[in-house]
Amino acid sequence: MTQRRRPDLAAWRAIILHPPHASVDQLIRQLEMLHVSVRHVWPQLDEADADADVIFFDADSGHDGQFPWPAGFAPMPLIALVGSEAPGRIEWALSQGSNAHLMKPIGSTGAYSALLMAAHAFEAVRTRTDDIRALETRLRQRPAVVHAVLKLMHDGARDEQAAMKTLRAIAMTWRMTIEEAAEAICRDDGHTRRGA
């Protein structure tokens, strides 16, 4: 089992987007004990808050337009502060991209585990998103691979297998992915390939 590296919370900057409340005071105390730098704001974030490491937000009185990015595209982990379990409020918090939550009223514990869970969930989502983008790019490039294989067969490769082997060798020589090499071959008039 792979050991995940815990974030260095002492270097983190947290924003609490919530109306003034005793729960906010408790959360600030917990975060300060973890050496997390904290700023409390209401009613909305501004562009400068986009460089925070984590945002705690009020799921009960939160509303669209509080964040300076589209819903679900936060550039950092989000932790919902939940007091009401009304389905509409929970759905709204989830639509914002909440990675973890803390139930209100907030006591003397909970922030540490919420921070770790949110950081882990955020990183997992980001990794999956990057993987999906890479696969989508490769899928978009597949017609170029087919075209390059056909071009290599036309230029003398015996069959599809030999053309694919040549394409792999070219990609390795040029230090590119097969898809990038295929696109280069499709753009090429033949001179570069003979020099490979």
pLDDT tens by residue, 109-153 = 999 999 999 999 999 988 888 888 888 888 888 899 999 999 999
Could you tell me the pTM of the whole model? 0.74
Instruction: Give me the domains of the chain, ranges plus CATH numbers.
Output: 9-109 (3.40.50.2300), 138-194 (no CATH)
For the cut 60, the answer to whether the pLDDT of residue 195 exceeds it is: no
DSSP summary character for residue 2: P
| Of the candidate ranges 25-29, 54-58, 189-193, the one whose mean pLDDT is the lowest | 189-193
Per-residue pLDDT at 134: 85
- Token match 């071959």: residue? 185
Name residue 19's amino acid.
P
Encoding tokens for residue 107?
């006591």
Q: What does the pLDDT read at residue 51? A: 93
Give the model confidence (pLDDT) of 154-194 as tens digits: 888 889 999 999 999 999 999 999 999 999 998 875 544 44
* The pair of three-digit structure tokens given for residue 159, joined into one six-digit string: 């069959």
Does the pLDDT of residue 71 top 80, yes or no? Answer: yes
